[in-house]
Structure 1
């Protein structure tokens, strides 16, 4: 097992829930073949408050059978309708945990952990806040509940152990075509820098990425480059182990 913290990446698929469109197979197809058994799946236990995980449902059992770590991704991934979010992204306010106080964070996590645990037979160890926006109170509640840590935009916060610098390369910019087109252009130099420097990163795919031809093409091109240049996919726990070891060596 290689200990190198260079040219490694963690594949992630976000917003997984029963009835998701497109499905998991379409999203896996956007990733390098070698990465598909290493995916960290960010699961929403009750998408938009209308798609709760049901342990008896075939769709939930199919999610449970997917290889790779399951990460708790909020409760509903939504705070409801919001004009600014509609103008910018074409949908509701999805920053579910951005400004929560301790009591509301506890209530949402209680429901989310219950659904997750019933569906998968074990409580979640990891959390990823929708849009990577997490209030301090919510973080404190996660730590108090025994979560090992959370995945943030620029890295992974491992509670009581340290910080893993591993930024998320995100392709989802909502449902506004103009925003998606601008984001494709903005990502080009970022991708070139990542590949040139060998910087460890998280390759994050959302369902909408497969529906936009330009975004899907950019993802496929990146996947081809990662394979051709010998980048190594790792799972979530391996990424944390390697990243913490690298941080200790650098200290």
Structure 2
């Protein structure tokens, strides 16, 4: 299957290993991965901050880029996928009906990585192996907004040697929330402190998530507290071990 890869800004700039492992994983599962070089930011930071009009040009660029073919588009970040899923409604607000229609066609082809693997490829066990105990953090964008809840858990439950641990208030936001963590830094800081407290109570070897931004936020707090918990994106986990 031919698949477009949407790298996202954070994976491109901060976590290149997530991008690399996403591509390797898709190839391992039989996909021919295509990278359209004209892709850019989805506009999420501007959209989250209320600068919707200023985001339109970037949104249009992304739509034009992925109109180059009709293949599925896979991204390792639910927050970016959710932002793109809202393009059509945003264009409608500006009475841009043509762009709204084009946006919907592109958005309908966008998938979070775990959603694509489980629901499009029909795979629940990728043959990964990782020894240890882990806590999974369900990011708000992925679980609450996109409704992708069981897919990452199913994939992780089938990782040989990995034991998933429950934590108190597992569904609670980590406090990142895009620009929320900048505008409301004190509240955000207290939220991530609480999240890390619950993670530490389970004493895991790994913290796993499917959104890089949340992992950066929680991982930063773990580092400041001197906790030896390894933070991993699910794409990195699913590339561990051998078939």
When normalised by structure 1's length, the TM-score is 0.36
Higher helix share: 2
